[in-house]
Structure 1
Amino acid sequence: MILQTIKSITLIGLLSILIGCSDQTPQSKTNQSVETLIPDDSAQNVTVTAAYDEPPLGRLNKNWVPKHYQLDLTINPDEADFSGEVKIDLTINQARNHYFLHGNLLKVSSVSVTDEQGKLHQGEYTQVDKSGVARIAFKDSLPAGNAVLNISYKAPFNEALEGLYRVVDGGLNYAFTQFEATSARLAFPGFDEPAFKVKFDVSITVPAEMHAIANTLMVKKDLVADKAGYAKATYATTEPLPTYLLAFAVGEFDVVEWADLPTNEVRDRPVPLRGIATKGKGKDFEYALSHTQEILEVIERYFEIPYPYDKLDIIAVPDFNAGAMENAGAITYREQLLLLGDAPSVGQIKSYASVHAHELGHQWFGNYVTPYWWDDIWLNEAFATWITSTTLQTIYPNIGYEETILRRALGAMRNDSLESARQIRQPIKSNHDIASAFDGITYSKGGGVLEMMHQFIGPEDFRAGLQHYMKRHAWKNATADDFIAAISEKAQNVPLEKIKQTFGSFLEQTGIPMLSVNVQCEDGQNTLQFEQSRYFPAGSQGDSNKTWDIPACFNYQIKGEQHEHCELLSEGQGAFTLPGSGCAAYVMPNAKGAGYYRFSVKSGWNTFYENRDSLSTKEMMSINDSFFAALDADQVSLTDFFAVAPQLTQADNKQMIEAPMSVLRYLDYRIVPESDQAIFEKVAQELYQGALENTLNKKQLSDTDIELKKSLISFMAKTANDTTWRSNLADMAKKYTGFEGDGQINGEDIDANLIGTAMSIAGEDLGADFHQHVVGLLKSNTGGTIRGRLLTAIAATKDEATLAGLRDMALSDDVRLNEVFTILSPQIANPKVQDDLWQWTQANIDAIKLRFPTWAQGRLPAVGSGFCEAKKRDELKAFFEPIVESLSGGPRYLAQTIESIDQCIAKKARLVTQWGDWKGATGF
């Protein structure tokens, strides 16, 4: 699965995954209580008087285990409920009179077990915990051996985009599923954890005019004799799957039949490929379908293992909480990631490619081989993150995809700088731990650590190890230890113990290693002294006394020649001699930017910037991150930053040019007083005017140039407040929306790469009439891309009365639940209305919770992630502490939000003073 953004405790990072959905009836939306209600009409046809075991709230025991499922579902999105008949072939390992499995909000009408001798045992089904644990009790103990469990039930469509849920689009009702991590139990009773990986036979009865999509090819679809107007679709038996990878979709879809993916040197069979969209939207599928083959085949060739499933459907979902979900053979995506139309922007294309490669990578890592338990979910998500970069760099070598892993790993370091950060392989002891496992530590830090090990072990040996792991555990479950063992067996140059040591060091420890480096040269020999600790920003109370096994590589230059030397640094401090004769011009402590660590250098930072032409883009990215981290740690000052910034903005590399923007935005948002705004804007414009002119003057722009142009114009208009650019962008938004014109969306002759920025500026500058016009357009447009642009403008308004109306709009039928974030996030970031939003949140918390799946509700404390004062921190803590245990993942997210506020308080106090010092020293 890929979340909408991954995931770190920043103002935007935390809230971006707070996207939910309420269920929809044929004509309107309805809400259920925020508390999960356990049905009171479960089967009650036997009486059992023996004592019951405590329900297992983590992993199920193995008293009985599934071998095979038959699911026979009846799904009509125009009705309030769906129903099912579930038959599970079991092995009963222990004779007893009650067993546990999963089922949540299911209205069970009958349950029975037929034992190995053919004897029928009637059971009593009771949901015993609101997380979805159910008990089935019997009058007598069931004998050990083979058995068949039969359950008949019905259930409501879910209200918050998890389990089996409904969406209204274009006046029609559709049903979709989202089962990861623990939501399959909302759709059918079973063993809802990844260790139980078995085959499924699925049939779905639907209204005859509707399509039904499942994980495998449809074998037949027949009219139902005793249910007029309905047809039953039967599908091929699946390969072994955990419950979270099943998927169903029902509705009057556009089904775009694409050419089969042809055979190749890895795969000896074609694969049917289709695009599934809600009615009327299939026309926008061409780009996504036409580029699927090249992505899939690169992954096949990397593994030398054919795509594992019998077909590939890519499904565009209008309202979807995650970004995408890797269901085997039936991958679901937010529709704007697939329905790109005729003229997508570079950003849209890169988002499509990145998410598509991620989900296709999961078909091997996660689906073909599956973790036993959620503590190893990093094996799924970190690898899918890593293979995305590897795959896209192979297909598009000149667009910079190779930098993606590093960029994301550096982003994860913001969260990993918190004392309350979690480790990659986090022990899963409760549903709180499952809910908080899908974050930037799992995806981005995990991906960064894989890249570090990829370089440490060597690309070819690492690849051989991955192939070995896949083939050894094909169609089965595996653990991190299995993964590390398989990699180690193919590593020719690094011993097993070193690999285990290093992986364990990074997987099972929290935080970022900080490597302090000092190089001294005597008689032409360079001695490198190092000391390691845990990185924290200034003001943190965390214990920095921690060490890792760091595979550190050093890039250095002697007499104009480049050298690289690697050492495994296991001690807290030490020294060694760098090979080569002659004093080094510089020593870069993270060659290729491959290591997941930060560094400081006693010799200072200027040496790196003076020699930037000799350093790679990824090395400069790592240098910039460590330099800005030093600013946060109070090891360098704003004066140092303003001395370095011009060297970066005058470079000819997108990553370098953009690097100072984050600090400047922070200064604008938090530090610079109103009285100094004109000074700040002048400085910001002078820093970036040259880079923008250079980009605009190029005769032909590459995709990277186009993205840089967008970034520069956005910065100049928003942060530097350039009035000319603001006016030009507002005019673009007028034309696009038909404001003061024909009133209709007009995408012709509009720069798709700039329209998002234009809509934001127009929302800020064009006033109430424009706002009302855009709200009207929102109500008449169903396309995810267009709606996203309209919502960007709506949410950007500065009028406080209008913003109050937007808060209520976020709870209305006018806004899809995956759009709530777009409405609310600007208010979280706006100091003028933060308090209004906070008061509204407290007054409406129950209604707000209805807009999010249970697993996402724990992130609600992020509403305070824009706070930067002790009073608001204490209010946030006082409000959420009494309810945080009822929010999945809530305790960790509350702790991280509180800690981020404390860090902000310390940083703000420090930089306000430094801003004044710099301003005085420069004569402003």
Structure 2
Amino acid sequence: MRKGRGPRLIQQAKLLWLLAAIIIFIKPLNAKQLEYRLPNNIAATKQVIELSLLPDKASFSGKTVIDLAINGSVSKIAVHGINLDIKTINLSQGESVRRLQVSPGEYDMLWLSDGKDIPAGSYQLTIDYNAEFSTDALGLYKTQYNDQTYLFTQFQSLYARRVFPSFDEPDTKIPYQFILTVPKSLTVVANTPQQSSTTSGDLQTVTFAETPPMPSYLLALTVGPLDKTPINGLGVKGNIYSPKGTANQTGYAVKHTPKILKALEQYFGMPYPYKKLDFIAVPDYAFGAMENPGLVTYRQELLLRGDNATASEANGTLNVIAHELAHMWYGDLVTMKWWDDLWLNEAFATWMAQKVMDGLYPELRSELLLPQEGAFYEDALSATKAIRKEVKNNDDIEDGLGLNYSKGHAILSMFEQLVGIDNFQLAIQRYMKKYQWKNTVADDLWTEVSQASGENVNAIASTYLDQPGYALVNFEKDGKITQQRFSNYGVDLANQQWQVPLAMKYKVNGEIKYQSLILDNPSMVFEPAIEAEWLFPVENGNGYFRWKLPQEQYQALLADLDQLSPREQVALLSNMTGLLDAGEISIYEMMELYQRMSSSTDLAVFKQVLEGIKAYAELYQSAENKAQVARLVTDIIGPWYKKLGAKTRKNDSDEILSLRPRVIRTLGQLGNEPALVKDMQVLAQQYLKSPTSFDAGLGREALRIAAMHGNNALAKQYFDVYLSTTDATLKSNIMGSIYFTDKASMQVVFDELLGDRIPAGDKMGPLSGLYYINNDQSSLYRWITTNYDALKGKLPEVYLSYMPLILNSNCDAANLDMKQKLFEGKGPVYQASLKKSVEATDNCIKQKRRAQPEFNRFVGQYQALN
């Protein structure tokens, strides 16, 4: 809420909160009772949470008071709680107080009763309890940073219940209030401004203002010796809180946050809806960031960039800030009713962040990062579920979570193009005003979009949300268009149908034309295609489907590439990789396309070509063709290295700063440039000693190349520098560069993973790096099989469900066999991602067996080159 809006608007806001509480009371009465949901005839309407938080202790004490509305007589009350040591439970109604007992149930429910019925009415439930601080970067956890102890929180998805008994469901959207007792020498911050504070000895008790209606997963607090840096230029008060001694690194985030927030307010047509906007830079974090209203948490490297940032750093920081601030509307102000519509939060925040980036920072070229690229492969697996699916527990939430962001973003871009930018914005603004402080389902949004545009978006959207996969659209010479379910080479999937929006761009008699249509049947005829020289069915690159042209039209399109925008050229590259996965084209054709497009003068497009060449060279390189692969990479990428050089230059553009590190990395890993490797080893040492002296992106790739050729002494140096530096970006880059291949170096990494020096939120990076860079993973599996239980206790719980995917098999059957043996019998948490990992590796092996001869034939032409 903006400052100075006056008592009348404050009263209106309070009325909205009261109405929200009434809605929460009424809504569940008509809902079907589900075993994994709290009883639908008991509703929380307000909760006060008192915590005594002493960071030097292993545990904390808590007391919570929950206002309840009970409809009809009940025998017991359920709340959520995990590992809470309940001391007393009192249920009061006026002067009447009943002492209840607790018994645990399924789905983290605690059932409270005294053996007697509880009549309908309004009650207060008071629970006193103790609990331990977490150490895995989830719930309420403590961590050490530069010899100081801090407390941070991460409650999404189901971790608030570790900290206080609650109605921990997204449609319990109620006011909360924190009362926190902490050492008075420390700073304490929560979602809302401080209301009052008292001291007693060495302690202070801070009462925070009541929140507007919100779900429990968005609550947040932090305690520690924090620096505080104001963010000026906001409509509300805002600060960046960061670990002690780091305030001087917040300048970049401070500078750009006001303009990002202003752009969002303009798009939504309404001001930022909360009383303050604080950020917190967290040194031990299991995620990238979290949209807690009033106290947004970020991995520290995202906020601690100093006063300036390179292109890659800027893209990371600005995009995540825009994403989290978009959540203040998508997800916070308007919240999904249940976790099956989590995509509604994440897709819109991701899509909105892209819109902000394109509008405010076009020089960063973020529009060339197609969201569908992050979704297509997983969504084609038979083991993948629809993004809107039944959700009972956290494992269900995590299964396919990334598709909520990537697939959701892609289909929103497709729908915006279908209905028009203005109509889409109008629908969003209506939706926000209509449902502010409430909960919704996806159909509520599509209804608004349909009304604003006249398109039946509900019907189209359901074909993308309620079933997995996507279409392969075939264009034939006679103008016929057909659709079938896309499947990877050698995989037989049951066919499905979609309503596919086609944004046709085509050339007829030398003229470029455009036409939109919807393929809502197995086939249709597009008559202009009969005479068209070429077709491009995803104008502006927005299309969540793969497509294939007749060979004559495809070749004509390649001859006319300058008629495609850079984003469309990237979409063409993306589509061809999909056709390769499906077995519709050969690797020879794919490499020819990369070879042809490597002459692009658009640096951002060339970077996409570079990444493709690198990926396929890594995949198909063998002992027999290694020299030819090196020659291919050196011949295509080498001229760019000579042009760009190995050092940052004064007048480098953002695109050059982004491209140079990847050119160097590709040549250093796959090319024939021994002098470059030596240069990078020297550069890596310079970066470790003086991380601000040159581009951090270049420093990261130097660290990676040095690690590939390094020994155990270098591995020890990496971890020692990680622990001693206060440079957050250097810390992050070291953890992303653990690419060691010799046994002694790997043992250094193993010791750190099982030790306590590296925080839980940073341990997955080194483990992932080892599995990425080592094709022979036998020594890795010997270690992890012996030490898995110990390792499991050192990682954030939320990472466990992803472990089979994180341990990359590198398209190798032996590695996959070891992975399957590791996770056999380890419980259901691993099974969804294990199934996907097995299928993906099997697909890769089949594709590699098919494509290897053609790849060898392509690189063979480089054999005789000098």
Partners of 1:662 and 1:541 in 2: CA distance:
30
Task: Look up the equivalent residue of 1:714 and give its one-letter code.
Answer: R
Counterpart residue number, 2:436 = 474
Q: TM-score, normalised by structure 1?
A: 0.86
2:746 to 798, 803, 811: 803
CA displacement 1:90-138 (0-9 Å, x = unmatched): 10113122121101111111111112x5321110023334x52111012
In structure 2, do the counterparts of structure 1 residues 518 and 654 end up closer, same or farther at CA, with 3 Å as the change threshold?
farther
CA distance in 1, matches of 2:378, 2:388: 16
SS of residue paired to 2:83: coil
For the pair 1:416 / 2:379, whether they are aligned, the reply is yes
The gaps in structure 1 that reach 5 residues or longer are 1-54, 262-269, 521-527, 738-744
For residue 499 of structure 1, report the CA deviation from its aligned partner: 1.2
Change (3 A) 1:588 1:160: same
**Cα distance change on mapping 1:913 and 1:320 into 2, 3 Å:** same
Tell whether the 8 Å contact from 1:112 to 1:150 is kept in structure 2 after alignment: yes
- TM-score normalized by the length of structure 2: 0.92
2:485 matches 1:548: no
- Aligned equivalent of 1:427: 390
Question: How far apart, in 1, do the equivalents of 2:169 and 2:363 lie?
Answer: 41
1:761 aligns with 2:705: yes
Q: Which string of whole-angstrom CA distances, capped at 9 and with x for unpartnered residues, describes residues 303-329 of structure 1?
A: 011101100110000000000000011
Counterparts of 1:346 and 1:658 in 2: how far apart (Å)?
A: 13
Which residue does 2:485 correspond to in 1? 534
Distance 1:399 1:660 in 2: 18
Identity score, percent: 28
In the alignment, what sits opposite 2:25? none
- The whole-number CA distance in structure 2 between the counterparts of 1:923 and 1:791 is 37
Q: Is the 8 A contact 1:369 1:473 kept in 2?
A: yes
Deviation at 1:634, TM superposition (A): 2.2
What residue is the counterpart of 2:18 in the other structure? none
- SS at structure 2 position matched to 1:620: helix
- Do the aligned residues in 2 keep the contact of 1:57 with 1:133 (CA within 8 Å)? no
**Counterpart of 2:169?**
193
Whole-angstrom distance in 2 between the partners of 1:93 and 1:586: 65
State whether structure 2 residue 694 is matched by structure 1 residue 750.
yes
Instruction: Say whether the 8 Å CA contact 1:432–1:891 is kept in structure 2.
Output: no
Q: Secondary structure at the match of 2:381?
A: coil
Which structure carries more helix by proportion? 2
| Partner-residue secondary structure (3-state), 1:822 | helix
1:873 Cα offset (Å): 3.2
1:121 corresponding residue in structure 2: 98
Residues of 2 paired with 1:307 and 1:920: CA distance?
60
Q: Which residue of 2 aligns with 1:645?
A: 594
Q: Provide the residue aligned with 1:462 in structure 2.
A: 424
Distance 2:96 2:346 in 1: 45
Q: CA deviation at 1:342?
A: 3.9
CA distance in 2, matches of 1:342, 1:510: 44
Greater RCO (CA < 8 Å, at least 6 residues apart): 1
Change (3 A) 1:881 1:753: closer
> Which residue number corresponds to residue 213 of structure 2?
240
Q: What corresponds to 1:506 in structure 2? A: 464
Matched AA of 1:510: P
Shift of 1:382: 0.2
Which residue of the partner structure matches residue 11 of structure 2?
Answer: none
Bigger shift: residues 750-759 or 63-72? 750-759
> What is the one-letter code of the residue matched to 2:56?
D
- For the residue of structure 1 that corresponds to 2:691, the secondary structure is coil
**Separation in structure 2 between the aligned mates of residue 824 and residue 674 of structure 1, nearest angstrom:** 26
Residues 657 and 691, structure 1, Cα contact 8 Å, conserved in 2 = no
The residue correspondences of 1:122-201 to structure 2 (distance < 5 A) are: 122-129=99-106, 131-201=107-177
- Distance verdict in 2 for CA 1:752–1:644, change over 3 Å: same
Specify the code of the residue in structure 2 equivalent to 1:183: Y
Amino acid at match of 1:243: S
Looking at structure 2, the residues matched to 919 and 68 of structure 1 have their Cα atoms a distance apart, in angstroms, of: 67
Q: Which residue type is aligned with residue 512 of structure 2?
A: Q
Alignment partners' CA distance in 2, 1:155 and 1:721: 57
Contact 1:864–1:897 (Cα < 8 Å) also in 2: no
For the residues of structure 1 that align with 2:755 and 2:65, how far apart are their CA atoms?
40
Q: Secondary structure of the equivalent of 2:391?
A: coil
Deviates more, 1:362-371 or 1:854-863: 854-863
Question: Any conservation in 2 of the 1:865–1:900 contact (CA below 8 Å)?
Answer: no
Residue by residue, what CA displacement relative to the aligned partner does 1:194-230 show, whole Å, maximum 9, x if unpaired? 0100001221111111111100111222113xxx311
- SS at 1:139's partner residue? coil
Cα distance in 2, alignment partners of residues 109 and 233 from structure 1: 23
Candidates 301, 309, 312, aligned match of 1:347: 312
Match of 2:583?
634
- Summarize the Cα distance change of 1:437–1:327 in structure 2 as closer, same or farther, 3 Å threshold: farther
Equivalent residues, number = 829
CA distance in 2, matches of 1:852, 1:774: 20
Kept in 1: contact 2:665–2:705 (CA 8 A):
no
Q: Which runs of 5+ in 2 are unaligned?
A: 1-32
1:96 equivalenced with 2:74 (yes/no): yes
1:860 equivalent in alignment to 2:803: yes
Q: Does residue 730 of structure 2 align to residue 786 of structure 1? A: yes
1:397-412 mapped onto 2 (5 Å cutoff) = 397-404=362-369, 407-412=370-375
- Distance 1:461-1:726 versus aligned 2 partners, 3 A rule: same
1:817-862 per-position Cα deviation (integer Å, ceiling 9, x unaligned): 2221221122212345412112222222212222333333111222
SS at match of 1:844: helix
Quote how far apart the aligned CAs of 1:469 are.
Answer: 0.8
Question: What secondary structure sits across from 1:96 in the alignment?
Answer: coil
1:386 counterpart = 2:329:
no
Q: Against the structure 1 CA distance between its residues 593 and 317, is the aligned structure 2 distance closer, same or farther, given a 3 Å change threshold?
A: same
Cα pair 2:379 2:468 within 8 Å, conserved? yes
1:774 to 1:593, Cα distance in 2 relative to 1, 3 A:
closer
* 1:576 maps onto 2:526 in alignment: yes
Residue matched to 2:666: 715
Per the alignment, residue 229 of structure 1 pairs with 202
What corresponds to 2:190 in structure 1? 214
State the distance in 2 between where 1:67 and 1:848 align.
41
Q: 1:857 to 1:57 in 2, by over 3 A?
A: farther
Question: 1:371 aligns to what?
Answer: 336
Matched, 1:701 2:652: yes
Q: Distance in 2 between matches of 1:781 and 1:56?
A: 50
Q: What is the rounded CA distance, in whole Å, between the counterparts of 2:582 and 2:400 in structure 1?
A: 28
2-structure distance, mates of 1:63, 1:396: 50
Q: 2:781–2:818: 8 Å Cα contact kept in structure 1?
A: no
Q: 1:613 to 1:371 in 2, by over 3 A?
A: same
For 2:248 and 2:415, locate their aligned partners in 1 and report how far apart those are by CA, in whole Å. 43
Distance in 2, matches of 1:872 and 1:777, equals 32
Letter in 2 for 1:112: N
Matched, 1:727 2:678: yes
**Within 5 A, what are the aligned runs for 1:14-29?**
none
Kindly tell me: are residues 819 and 853 of structure 1, through their superposed partners in 2, closer, same or farther at Cα, counting changes over 3 Å?
closer
- Residue of structure 2 equivalent to 1:883: 826
SS at match of 1:310: coil
Q: Distance in 1 between matches of 2:819 and 2:707?
A: 30
Partner of 2:12: none
Structure 2 CA distance for aligned equivalents of residues 487 and 396 of structure 1: 27
AA aligned to 2:379 is D
Return the offset for 1:721: 4.1
- Decide whether aligned partners of structure 1 residues 487 and 792 sit closer, same or farther in structure 2, where only a CA change above 3 A counts: closer
